[in-house]
Amino acid sequence: MPTYHGGTNDKPAAYVTVDVFAREAVSRAAWESMTPVICDALQDQLGVDPARIYIKYGESTNFGWNGMNF
């Protein structure tokens, strides 16, 4: 499925979702420190220009794994 950025899909683009299992709120500074790391990795490994990367952050205290929740 093509990903459009600025109305075009002529270059690679990425939409990334980062969900964190957290017992308390994650600070904005923590999210901000992850953004350049994620963008650098996508640019280095996949050739996606950071200007064409969208990152959505979320946190939850409710995660399921291996048939149970923790």
Domains of the chain, with CATH numbers? 14-63 (3.30.429.10)
- Whether the Cβ atoms of residue 11 and residue 51 lie closer than 8 Å to each other: no
- Distance in angstroms (rounded) separating the CA atoms of residues 51 and 32: 15
What number is the average pLDDT over the span 10-30? 90
What is the pLDDT averaged over residues 8-27?
89
Mean pLDDT of 3-23: 87
Contact between 29 and 57 (Cβ < 8 Å): no
User: Please, what is the average pLDDT of the chain?
Assistant: 91
Residue 1 pLDDT greater than 80, yes or no:
no
In this predicted structure, what is the pLDDT of residue 66? 93
